[in-house]
A and B are shown apart, each in its own frame.
Chain A
Amino acid sequence: MTPDPALPADEDLSAETATEGIARRRRVFNDTKVGLRFFLSKRLPQEADIDDCLQVVFVKLMEKGDGVAPPALRSWLYRVASNESARLWRTKAAAEKMYQKHGGVGIPVPDPTMTAMQAEATEELKKALKELPESWQQIVSLRIYENLTFQQIANQLGIPLGTALTRMRRALERLKNDLSK
């Protein structure tokens, strides 16, 4: 779970082969599956829908997980699960409406504005990140970009573990608030 402090995390992962990458993603999925199931059970009442959703999450992990930064992989799984559960709801609702209206199923059309919106959100996030207190920026940078554990960060900065965790969490909350303004 904890990376070897002697080895910088990025260097370790850059040497990872495709097979090792797949094995790592599979391992993360297996470690997260129980949590994902509990998470989805709060959103999808039917067990079959949860299973479907988990399958989609796994497929997406294998297809696109390669491009996700390793520290964010578990968070990414939860985001995909959340999006998939929402999509499942929408599809069901749309299908019901479609059946009621026309007696057929419509094909979902991808939204072309989505990419532009994502790019805009990323730009806003960059700005918001720069406006954070430096001590918070430092924690975010070390945890997300340098892939150090909170314990390693606490040791490096000479602060308690709880402080490192709280700074990170507050940074996330501030960013969330700034983006939703």
Chain B
Amino acid sequence: MNKPDPHSNEHEQDNVNLTENCKNQCLQYLLDELDPEQLAWFEERLGKSDLLVNELQRQAEMIVSLSEVSSQPNAISGPGNSTISPNENGRSQKLLRRGFGIAIAVCAAVFVFRTWWPSITPPQGSESPDNKFAGRVIHDDANMTQVSEATLIARAWATAQVDDQDLSITPNTSRDKTTDVQFINTSTNELELETVPTEENSDDSFSWMFTATFEIHELETNDG
């Protein structure tokens, strides 16, 4: 014979009406306040009583609805509170910080690129220091509209340096080198420089810097 179920009376009562105690347990269960023994018993009853299931569902609905209202603080708290939930606020701050970081990184990358790129770019047809310099001069001439006096002086000085060194080049050097040197000699004419139309004119100060940097580099290289 089966042992009588200690909760059988209560179980039978479930089918008529739920007790106050039972409803309170439902509430405690949903809010995770039942101790393990009560929890097991309650869950077992859940599988047997439709009334209990319905009560549980009703209470669960209301608790969730109330918790959703709590994410909109006007419900109970004062009117001065923000309408943004802490999660959303944190996310937007993170996005803002990330965007700011990206902007700074891009600015830094552009600055570094602008500063260092011309100095590391290999000049056209360069094999010797002379030709490196020649390539630079040709490139600058092609891209300049209004050349400052300082730049022109630097160019003239640099060209003179090239011309001086050009004398030491033997007639048997490669065809390319000869072409470059000849082009330099014609392109450094001031009249030609003034009439050559180009697009960029904001790098005037950089031109002088590049010329001077190259010249310093040349001197250092020649020294040994």
**Which residues of A are interface residues toward B (Cβ below 8 A)?**
1-2, 14, 28, 31, 34-35, 37-39, 41-43, 66-69, 71-72, 74-76, 78-79, 82, 121-122, 125-126, 129, 137, 140-141, 143-145, 149-151, 162, 165-166, 168-169, 172, 175-176
Q: B75 and A129: CB pair below 8 A?
A: yes
Structural contact, A74 and B31, CB atoms closer than 8 A: yes
Nearest B-chain residue to A38, judged by Cβ:
B47
Q: Which of B28, B50, B69 contacts A129 (CB 8 A)?
A: B69
CB contact under 8 A between A125 and B69, given known A78-B56, A144-B63, A169-B23: yes
Look across to chain B and name the residue whose beta carbon is closest to the beta carbon of A126: B75
- Docked complex Cα distance between A75 and B28 (Å): 11
Q: Which residue of B lies closest to A28 (CB)?
A: B32
- Chain A binding site: helix, strand, loop or mixed by DSSP? helix
Contact of B30 with A by CB under 8 A:
yes
B87 to chain A, nearest CB (A): 7
Q: Secondary structure at chain B's binding surface: helix, strand, loop or mixed?
A: helix
| Minimum distance in angstroms from B22 CB to a CB of chain A | 11
Tell me, rounded to whole Å, the shortest Cβ–Cβ distance linking A166 to chain B.
7
Closest 7 CB pairs of A and B: A38-B47, A72-B67, A75-B60, A75-B63, A78-B60, A69-B67, A38-B46
Q: A122-B65, A125-B66, A166-B20 provided; 18 other pairs, C-beta below 8 A? A: A37-B47, A38-B46, A42-B46, A67-B71, A68-B67, A74-B29, A74-B32, A75-B31, A75-B61, A78-B60, A79-B60, A129-B76, A141-B76, A144-B67, A145-B76, A150-B28, A172-B63, A175-B66
A residues in contact with B46, CB < 8 Å: 35, 38-39, 42
B interface residues, Cβ below 8 angstroms from A: 20, 23-24, 27-33, 35, 42-44, 46-47, 50, 53, 56-72, 74-76, 86-87
Closest to B59 in A: A172
A168 to B23, CA, bound (A): 11
Across the interface, do A169 and B59 meet the contact criterion of CB distance under 8 Å? yes
Contact across chains for A165 and B28 when beta carbons are under 8 A apart: yes
Chain A residues within 8 Å of B31, by CB: 71, 74-75, 143, 149-150
**A156 and B42 alpha carbons, distance in the complex (Å):** 28
Most chain A beta-carbon contacts within 10 A, residue among B32, B57, B72: B32
- Complex contact B71–A69 (CB within 8 A): yes
Do the beta carbons of B70 and A144 come within 8 Å of each other?
A: yes
Query: Complex formed: what's the CA distance from A1 to B30 in Å?
Result: 12
List the A residue with the shortest CB-CB distance to B26: A169
Whether B59 lies near A75 (C-beta < 8 A) is yes
Decide: A79 and B61 in contact? CB cutoff 8 A: yes
Given contacts A74-B32, A129-B76, A168-B27, contact A82 B69 (CB under 8 A): no
Q: What chain A residues lie within 8 Å of B68 (beta carbons)?
A: 122
Alpha-carbon gap, A128 to B71, bound state (A): 16
Q: Pick the contact of A38 from B27, B43, B59, B69 — CB < 8 Å?
A: B43
Bound-state CA distance A171–B60 (Å) is: 13
CB pairs A–B below 8 angstroms (19 shown): A35-B29, A38-B44, A38-B46, A39-B56, A71-B32, A72-B64, A74-B60, A75-B30, A75-B59, A75-B61, A125-B69, A126-B72, A143-B31, A144-B67, A145-B76, A166-B24, A169-B59, A175-B62, A176-B62
